[in-house]
Structure 1
Amino acid sequence: MNEVNREKIVSELKSIPALKGIVAYGGGDNITESAILLYHVAGGLSNQELEHVVHRLDDIEVPIHYKLREIDSVVHAISDCLDGKITIKYESGHPFGVVNSSYAAEIHYGRILWEAPDQLVTALKGKVSAQGEYPERLRQATIAYFMEEATLALENGHSAAIQGGIHYASGSFFQAACSWVQVIHALNRQLLLSEKGGVKRANQLPISPKQFRVRVNQVYRYFAANNPTLAYCEIDMLEQEMAVLVRTYAEA
């Protein structure tokens, strides 16, 4: 999206009274600006009103990808994160669920294109960055929470695989792998926007199991070939390596 189109989009969108901020951000394994977040007051923005504004931008031949964020919910989520409280909620299009720390990542990585005079988005940016590159309480809570989540998921998946439940075992491994991605990002002090592309990004970080992405993909191949024995051989090695990485971090 070029700057002229961006300015036109912002000019039209900021006319909506309920908006508090317009932020460009990246999703998945890409932190380049690829979409627009619209921070708004709860109950103050109707889909009809938004679609009407977007319709006025039909002459722009670049699709407008936007997501809505209720500002009060984001404030609450970030406060919980900074207090070390991790939560996950189900949302369509996110099979792992949406972790509340992703809202902090959106604020951290996002580029403010416009905001209301009260500058709530700027205040949130300051709140996240005030505790350093990666808030330590959030880091510790993320590691503890998702290591436990991975362990529980793998235990449930293994018992299902013994009874022939390959589908359930695969799903359990997906939950465990996504949990490890959260831990790896926390170990590397990298806020995570989304589970999309998370394995690829985790594989590129300095503190990560060797060939993490290749091995995760191999586990799925073993499950697809109906070979849970080989799958859990690889899973066990990954689990041990993750434990070593976390232990090394704790000692440090």
Structure 2
Amino acid sequence: MNEVNREKIVSELKSIPGLKGIVACGDGYNITESAILLYYVPEELFFQELDQTISRVDDAGLLIEYSLREIRLVDLAIADCLEGRITIQHSSGHPFGIVNSSYAAEIHYGRILWESTNHPITTLKEKLAMEGPYPEKLRQATIAYFMREAALSLGNGHSAAMQGGIHYASGSFFQAACSWVQVIHALNQQFLLSEKGGLKRANELPISPKQFRVRVNQVYRYFAANNPKLAYCEIDMLENEMNVLVRSFAETREG
């Protein structure tokens, strides 16, 4: 989306009652800057007027991909992240689920296009940055939570695979791999927007298993070939490497 179109979209949207901020969000992997996040107060927002405005924008050829964000819920998510509380909300279109830290990631990466006079998005950015570029409590909590999730998923999947349940085992490995992606981002002190593109980005971060993306994809190929033994041979090596990375992090922090 070019800057002229973006300005036209903002000029159309910013007058809608209840809308408090318009943000372009993207880290180059998961959400492109063509995506617009609309932060709002639910009891004040005129949803019908919003729908009409979006339709008018689309009719004018200014195609817009947007998502609504209730500003108070985002504020609560950031507060939880700063205190090291991790939650996952299961939602259609998100096979892994929406981790509350993704809302913090949107604020971290987001570029403010417009906000109301009390500057709510700026306030959220400042709140998130209070403990530096990546909150340490969030880092520790993410690592602990998702290493545990990965181990549980792999245990369940292995039992199923040995009984011929390749479909279930593949889904369990997906959950484990997504959990590892969360851990790798936390180890590197990087916010993660969603599971989309997360594997690619995790592969490019300095603290990550060697050839992480290639090896994860190879596991899926082994499952597709009905070869769970080879799949779990690779999975076990990946899990061991993840455990080594996490132990090194813990030793560095304690030292």
2-structure distance, mates of 1:163, 1:241: 27
- Return the offset for 1:26: 1.8
Deviations 1:192-249 (A, max 9, x none): 0110011000000000000000000000000000000000000000000000000001
1-structure distance, mates of 2:78, 2:221: 38
2:173 aligns with 173
Judge conservation of contact 2:23–2:112 (CA < 8 Å) in 1.
Answer: yes
1:98 aligns with 98
1-structure distance, mates of 2:42, 2:135: 27
- Return the offset for 1:78: 0.8
TM-score (normalised: structure 2): 0.96
Once the two structures are overlaid, the 10-residue window that deviates more, 22-31 or 38-47, is: 22-31
- Return the offset for 1:89: 0.4
- Return the offset for 1:57: 1.8
2:161 aligns with 161
Relative distance call for 1:78 and 1:221 in structure 2 (3 A) is same
Matched, 1:67 2:35: no
Q: Percent identity?
A: 75
Q: Which residues of structure 2 form unaligned runs of 5+?
A: none
The aligned amino acid for 1:109 is Y
Judge conservation of contact 1:28–1:197 (CA < 8 Å) in 2.
Answer: no
2:121 aligns with 121
Matched, 1:250 2:230: no
1-structure distance, mates of 2:161, 2:182: 25
1:14 aligns with 14
Q: Which residues of structure 1 form unaligned runs of 5+?
A: none
TM-score (normalised: structure 1): 0.97
2:4 aligns with 4
- The 5-angstrom pairing of residues 35-50 of structure 1 reads 35-50=35-50
1-structure distance, mates of 2:64, 2:32: 15
2-structure distance, mates of 1:23, 1:208: 31
- Return the offset for 1:42: 2.0
1-structure distance, mates of 2:251, 2:94: 34
2:225 aligns with 225
1:201 aligns with 201
2-structure distance, mates of 1:102, 1:110: 12
SS in 1 for 2:131: coil
2:146 aligns with 146
2-structure distance, mates of 1:72, 1:42: 9
1:235 aligns with 235
Judge conservation of contact 1:28–1:196 (CA < 8 Å) in 2.
Answer: no
Judge conservation of contact 2:35–2:64 (CA < 8 Å) in 1.
Answer: yes
The aligned amino acid for 1:215 is R
- Return the offset for 1:106: 0.1
- Return the offset for 1:55: 2.2
2-structure distance, mates of 1:166, 1:235: 14
Judge conservation of contact 2:22–2:38 (CA < 8 Å) in 1.
Answer: yes
Judge conservation of contact 2:30–2:196 (CA < 8 Å) in 1.
Answer: no
1-structure distance, mates of 2:173, 2:44: 40
The aligned amino acid for 1:169 is A
Relative distance call for 1:56 and 1:212 in structure 2 (3 A) is same
- Return the offset for 1:92: 1.4
Judge conservation of contact 1:21–1:121 (CA < 8 Å) in 2.
Answer: yes
Judge conservation of contact 1:20–1:39 (CA < 8 Å) in 2.
Answer: yes
Deviations 1:85-129 (A, max 9, x none): 000001111100000000000000000000011111101000111
The aligned amino acid for 1:242 is M
Between the two proteins, the alignment pairs up a number of residues equal to 252
The aligned amino acid for 1:15 is S
Relative distance call for 1:57 and 1:31 in structure 2 (3 A) is closer
1:107 aligns with 107
2-structure distance, mates of 1:30, 1:164: 34
